[in-house]
Amino acid sequence: MALKTFIEAIRETLADEMRRDPSVIVLGEDVGKKGGVFLATDGLWAEFGDDRVIDTPLTESLIVGASIGAAVNGLRPVAEIQFADFIFPAFNQILSEASRMRYRSNNGFGVPMTIRAPYGGGVHGALYHSQSVEAFFTHIPGLKVVIPSTPYDARGLLRSAIRDDDPVLFFEHKKMYRSVRGDVPETDYVVPLGRAAITRPGSQITVVAYGLMAHYALEAADVVGEEGISVEVVDLRTLRPIDKEMVLGSVRKTGKCLVVYEDNRFGGYGAEVAAIVAEEAFDYLDGPVTRIAGPDVPGVPYNHVLEDWFMVNPEKIADGIRKLAAY
């Protein structure tokens, strides 16, 4: 075991997978000599060269489109979108081509491609460097969507994503890159896609979260735990396919569910989680399925005070837990 930051787990996994499998390539803006804007690919160009670590033009549709072509011709591309906010020029390639290739070819072609993108706010990034975009992609059949919250999960899930024979969107909360540390085994382990984790057992309320919000949920659970409220925290890890069994099993035990996500509240991913719980665990509920999420404004403000107002934090989650516990 070795203590790693979140970004170190990503970087080392990319290098390990490229050494293990010569079909793995990395491409994106400034991923070569520069090593990426967050240095997630630092050192890869020096080891693997121009043929496998490819600097692209500032054209997200090209990055994803070229990756799809490479994937159906025997390679396993890992495409980096510099910020998740910039992924939308590639949306048609992801939706109309990558996600549907296996279906439209009658299982003749897969697209073994991973798209990495940093997402999320709280870093003073304002409108175009703070967005949470996961809900757009979890809507699309044919895509897998992964958001790890720990270095251990980042390493294991990224291995699984790269080795998967279908397209995976792998979102990394940028605020966690160097602030989150954890023990990571040196072994070649994987974390299977589609499996959540109970990161804190409890008996009164289930809190479902992912990414940075999974950490904040744990902090809030510690606070309210001192007040006598027992909270179980479920870290989804994979948003699609969702681990319904673990979520529903927890809710059936606790009788109450709070869903936490950073994106705008209306139409966010947490609404789907709430619908699943309401439809499939209704007879077990002792209170309404509730959500803590970002406000419905067009973007995360730059101003520090307003950014704090927008962002979900442990205090807001703890307040939501208290209200649900009192219901």
Reading the block at residue 67, the tokens are: 């990756």
CATH number of 197-325: 3.40.50.920
Q: Locate tokens 């409890």: which residue? A: 202
Q: Which two tokens stand for residue 162?
A: 């790269």
Residue 246: partners with Cβ closer than 8 Å, 6 or more residues away: 195, 196, 197, 198, 234
In the chain, pLDDT over 90 holds for what percent of residues? 99
Average pLDDT, the chain: 97
Same topology between domain 2-184 and domain 197-325: yes
Confidence of residue 262 (pLDDT cuts 50, 70, 90): very high
Chain position carrying tokens 């075991």: 1
Report CA-CA distances (Å) from 150 to 123, 135, 191, 263, 325. Answer: 18, 21, 12, 20, 28
Q: What is the CATH number of domain 2-184?
A: 3.40.50.970
Burial classification of residue 58, based on how many CB atoms lie within 10 Å of its CB (0-12 exposed, 13-18 middle, 19 or more buried) = exposed
Give the pLDDT score at 12: 97
Quick: pLDDT tens for 267-299.
Answer: 999 999 999 999 999 999 999 999 999 999 999
Tens of pLDDT, residues 39-70: 999 999 999 999 999 999 999 999 999 999 99
Q: Which of 129, 173, 215, 304 is catalytic?
A: 129
SS3 242: coil
Relative to beta strand 144-146, strand 76-80 is: unpaired
**Tokens describing residue 188:** 């070649």
Domain ranges of the chain: 2-184, 197-325
Q: Which residues contact 11 (CB under 8 A, 6 or more apart)?
A: 39, 40, 41, 42, 43, 44
Q: How confident is the model at residue 216 (pLDDT cuts 50, 70, 90)?
A: very high
Q: How much is the average pLDDT of 170-186?
A: 97
Q: How confident is the model at residue 100 (pLDDT cuts 50, 70, 90)?
A: very high
- What's the pLDDT score for residue 278? 98
Name the token pair of 131. Answer: 């967005």
Please give the pLDDT value at position 218.
98
Query: Which residues sit opposite 200 in a β-bridge?
Result: 233
Closest CA to 251 of 235, 234, 239, 238: 234
Q: Quickly state the pLDDT bin for 310 (edges 50, 70, 90).
A: very high
pTM equals 0.97
Q: What are 111-166's pLDDT values in tens digits?
A: 999 999 999 999 999 999 999 999 999 999 999 999 999 999 999 999 999 999 99
pLDDT of 129:
96
The pLDDT value given to residue 37: 96
Q: Is 304 a catalytic residue?
A: no
Q: Please give the pLDDT value at position 70.
A: 98
pLDDT of residue 323: 97
- DSSP H or E segment with residue 2: strand 2-5
